[in-house]
Amino acid sequence: MSETGRTFGGRIGKFTKLASDEKHALLISCIVGAVVYGINAVLPHPLFEPLVASMLAGLIIRAVAGERVRLGNATVAASTILIPPGILLYGAGNLNFLHMPGVSVSVMLMLLVVASVFVCVIMAVGKLLGQRDRISYLTAAGSAICGASAIAITAPAVDADSDDISISLIAITLVSIIGLYTLFPLVAITMDFTSTAYAIMSGSLMHFTGFVKQATSDIPHLRGDMTQAQLNSLALSVKSLRYTGLLILIPLFSSLARRRVHIPWYLWGYVAAGTIASLVYWADAKLYATCRSSCVIPAYSVLWSIAMAAIGLGTDVRRLLSDHGVHAFVMAFAGFVAALAVFLFWASAAGLA
């Protein structure tokens, strides 16, 4: 066989192997994501985050398989295919321009300042520690907005890889656990918080929606001034306002990553999906609620669970324990403490503490 023929044959072989790897990665990711989502559907718990669980499952499979299975680059295909449609569905399920949560202007302004503090402190600490820019962007977005969902949405805007996403997500998850079980109770008892103040604090600072629900589900040590249903509703209303911050952070981080003004194409789709959903809500609120709960939320949850499993498969576990991983935790914790300090100042000024 001629040299040209051997070269061509080798390229065909590499392409076939890559395609096979991508199929394997997608198949494994689909199984993991579907199983995790199924567990959450059958045995729901506020602290069980399907996206985090899927990524961790992918990490474990990758660690066990080691170099025997080449899945690193192949997982990029799975996450690239699944995240964008999930973003559109996420916009349809969470961006309703005609149904804004009933919170005061004071709370809205506080949320703006808190989100800004999250971003500025995390970016500044990341710069001091020599952190990779993409990890700083993802950690800031996940902390300021809505945890795993914000990281999933921001990742393609800054061309983040599997390691960047995994490191950022694990960092904010650890900080959320510390906040939920240590900082929040300590602060609330020390400052004699009312249950209303605790609900607003949870919605303003906690990264994951499930953690917000857990934070307000059992707080007998606080001065009660609202029913349990009212507390949950208030905390989730405050949390839902933070979703709109993605309209600012996505183009900001995308532009910083490229050193030029850049608005990702899917951001327009995100806004368009929210606009369409808002019109459906205006025409038939009952239909909107039914479609959102039974179709839209399950759809993007499954897509992102599969994508996160693929990201876990593509992550080198050793890098989670590297300086980047440790620094990401320090950044996330510093941002959380700074944002908490801002909230406490506002709560004292508002007479809630």
Prediction pTM value:
0.86
Cα–Cα distance, 158 to 138 (Å, whole number):
9
Q: What is the pLDDT of residues 260-298, one digit of tens each?
A: 999 999 899 999 999 999 999 999 999 999 999 999 999
For 105, the token pair is 């202007």
- Quick one: tokens of 80? 């690239």
Give the type of residue at 237.
S
pLDDT digits (tens, 9 = 90+) for 174-220: 999 999 989 998 888 888 888 888 889 999 999 998 899 888 876 65
- Rounded CA-CA distance 110/207 in Å is 16
Q: Parse the chain into domains and list their residue ranges.
A: 16-349
